[in-house]
Chain A
């Protein structure tokens, strides 16, 4: 199928970066001869861990001891050059590989609008649907990975974000935490019949394609061949976490969230460039924030993120894999009468690491009560530009909306200096 959002300028910039153009002939041949393992080593990817509802980052990554807004938790030292919450001890041990941006200021404090803004880098606009960043990565990196037989953007747990003007072929491919994919098997029919069915299908489809009625017939055939490749692909094993050793599964934490992160690692391993994990929800803590964090959310998050970071590092994948952990906004520094925190987009934090970004540091700061950013603040467009930079997607990439409006990648933000240093 033709690619809808490709502009001429975009195409030219890609052509210029094509390997044959910059490498000499010998080098190019050598480049081709690199074995598959070597190629897979340099494949860039991003895992987005989504904390739906808006996590109280003031209690997690940017604590305010001594302030009336400080809450119940104490900060602890970490392996990195910053302190985080005492209820995240395993992550603390991995903090030399991760960083925190403490100066996010993102305007949108409504769930739907914030979710849109943080996923796309664009504020909602009634005239256009912007692509969620996973779709952008699918469009930019997925289409180039010919060896990839499964979709380039997998969402574990779903969440309904749209590929927008990049089109449905870059929509998130949704699975549940058990790795189940709707309609991916023949539901009780002898799988040997698939071959026979496809031969008959080919007879009918080829006739229609030859009848010279435009591109739709061939496009349909191409999609079916992708779907069949997927059904038959060895890469589908990536969804099956049962094959992991019990101690690995234990390390990630038994349950939907641990399973999802483990699956995300397996998917990145086979070449999927973007995985979103949306299976640890319930962060909209207007009530009883400390108790809920301490006993439920943080232990799961701690175990899962720490295991994922350690595992990626051990496998030599962390340098090519960006991990981002955030929700649609932070929560009010002020503690409300229900011992909860409300929506807050003015000053909050995001956890980010891997992908060769600078690690073990805190970027930016908030004032002593956490209500205001001191110094530079960052937008989601800056955050996604940082990710694009780490994934080696050119920052001058421009897509075109269906109405022909040029759209800068990641909302035209600037990579966060302290992270790309």
Chain B
């Protein structure tokens, strides 16, 4: 009986794929969403296709898309049975429904907590910074879908102990120098402008930038907002070692008023008062400058830099490229590729109350996000990897981030179901710590380049790690409870092609092609035992180019 169900499952899956790919090019795509803003995105993107005389690639088939949307929204590949169910689902609105499901999934919270922790303090935790507390702050914020401007307000204005108020860890992480140094808050200045406003100002610390409208005085005006803070580190006696250990750190208010002084390249000493674009703030000691800055950025900014930077960043998250390159360099010297669309999305994002899920929803339901990653003869010029301006006429291939790779290996192999589902059973932090340990170990191999967030960048040690390292080795061991074990022992899988398909679904989110099945089966027939044959097949799937990228 079971085998009949299975066979029908495969048939439905195939039908669903055929329906998708059979959709005519002139038939208007719909994910099922009827949101006018999604339609606006589609119109604007279509406009640049027409202007550049490119034809978009077809809509991605369900298998390609279901894997992509999982990686982007919840940070890992879908489990085999999830793929299977999605392929079978005949509801025409199933894509928009899946987007809703994923936005409500705990994986969404985890994925964006990881993304923002890495963005705010880097993958390697700076000294005397409480990463778990920052993660907790972000996790709670994303779980409640707090408005982005409120989250940003907290991060910029926070004070207190690094364990009690996790938000202070963003600024604490930037305060690594001697508090008496003139450079003490330089890092906080540059990072805040870059991350929250999408403006690169670090070069203007020392000189007016040749291609940037932001001048040296603006750097120091912005810098002066951060002068009323300092970190305080506490130690405690450790009776076991007889030494003083780090206990906790605090972000405190420090008295400061008046101007800051800076030197031009010509050696001229100048002064700067706190000023955020047009908004000047009383430089007296009564003013809480950081609070004023937080208000200006998150509530009163007519330029909407905070919203604009977030829209660009999220667009970049989903498409690999934003409207500017890099996504966090949006100054007037670097005009966006789709200015009207960026403006409109910025306005709508503000109107929505800085609703992060809504922003993701608009992007994921758009036609561009639903296209295949395959080029076609009419859009070969749309290749940002060659330096071209992105037209979003097909999806761009993204290498997996280290964390996505880790989580995907866990999902694809069920190597540790308990850890993966930690959120439900309350050991979320244990899981985060394991991931963190693993990530730090991997950073040596994967690099930690802030300019280009860490990816599978294709080095020999990375390949060796995937080929022979402990994680893949465990994944293919076939131990009881692992996915491979299930596939090998569950009577639902009657024949080898079904087992091969199950491994394909888990690793690549698609079934094998008939050519693949044929080739693989003849190779597998030469094995003395079936377990080794399937182990090696799974090894090959997890080591493949198709697994290591999000397309």
Contact surface of A with B, Cβ cutoff 8 Å: 1, 126-127, 129, 151, 158, 160, 162-163, 165, 167-169, 171, 173-174, 181-187, 193, 196-201, 203-205, 207-209, 211-217, 219-224, 226-227, 230-231, 402-403
Determine the chain A residues whose CB is within 8 A of the CB of B536 once the complex forms.
Answer: 193, 196-197, 200
Collect the chain B residues with CB atoms within 8 Å of residue A182's CB.
445, 461, 464-465, 469
A277 to B457, CA, bound (A): 26
CA separation between A160 and B468, bound complex, in Å? 23
| Binary contact readout B512-523 vs A (1 if CB under 8 angstroms, 0 otherwise) | 010110011001
Q: How many residues of B contact A (CB 8 A)?
A: 54
Which residue of A1, A173, A198 is within 8 Å of B458 (Cβ)?
A1
Within 8 A of A (CB), among B66-100: none
Q: How far is the CA of A362 from the CA of B551 in the complex (A)?
A: 59
Q: What are the residues of chain B within 8 A of A187 when measuring CB–CB? A: 468, 473
Indicate if B44 sits at the interface (CB-CB under 8 A): no
Contact assessment for A211 and B444 in the assembled complex, using a CB-CB cutoff below 8 Å = no
Please report B residues at the A interface, Cβ cutoff 8 Å: 186-187, 190, 202-203, 373-375, 383, 385, 396-397, 399, 444-447, 449, 451-452, 457-465, 467-469, 473, 513, 515-516, 519-520, 523, 526-527, 532, 536-537, 539-541, 543-546, 548-549, 551
CB atoms of B374 and A169 under 8 A apart: no
A200 touches which one: B462, B540, B545 (CB < 8 A)? B540
Least CB distance from B172 to A in Å reads 18
Once A200-B520, A201-B540 are accepted as A-B contacts, the answer to whether A212 and B545 lie under 8 Å apart by CB is no
CA of A183 to CA of B520 in the docked complex: distance in angstroms? 26
A217 to B546, CA, bound (A): 7
- Within the complex, the shortest CB–CB distance from A163 to chain B, in Å, comes to 8
A162 neighbours in B (Cβ, 8 Å): 447, 449
Q: Closest Cβ of chain B: how far from A409's Cβ, in Å?
A: 20
**B473 and chain A: residue at smallest CB distance:** A187
Given contacts A213-B373, A214-B383, A214-B385, contact A201 B544 (CB under 8 A): yes
**A201 and B464 in contact, given A126-B187, A207-B513, A216-B549 (Cβ under 8 angstroms):** no
Interface residue from B375, B459, B543 paired with A212 (Cβ < 8 Å): B375
For A151, the chain B residues whose CB sits under 8 A away are 460
Given the known interface contacts A207-B516, A220-B458, the answer about A196 and B527 at a Cβ–Cβ threshold of 8 Å is yes
Given A129-B451, A168-B446, A183-B468, do A230 and B545 touch, yes or no (CB 8 Å)?
no
A216 and B375 CA atoms in complex are apart in Å by 13
Q: How far is the CA of A200 from the CA of B522 in the complex (A)?
A: 10
13 inter-chain pairs at a CB distance below 8 angstroms, sorted by A residue, are A151-B460, A163-B447, A169-B458, A181-B464, A186-B467, A201-B540, A205-B545, A212-B375, A214-B397, A220-B458, A222-B458, A223-B459, A226-B460
Given A200-B520, A207-B516, A214-B396; A227-B464 close (CB under 8 Å): yes
Residue in A closest to B519 when the chains form the complex, CB atoms: A203
Which 4 pairs from chain A and chain B are nearest by CB? A227-B463, A220-B545, A200-B540, A183-B464
Docked CA distance A260–B202 (Å): 41
Beyond the given A151-B460, A213-B374, could you list 19 further A-B residue pairs with CB under 8 A, ordered by the A residue number? A1-B458, A126-B190, A126-B202, A171-B447, A171-B461, A173-B461, A183-B467, A196-B536, A197-B543, A200-B540, A203-B523, A204-B516, A205-B546, A208-B545, A211-B374, A220-B549, A224-B543, A230-B460, A402-B452
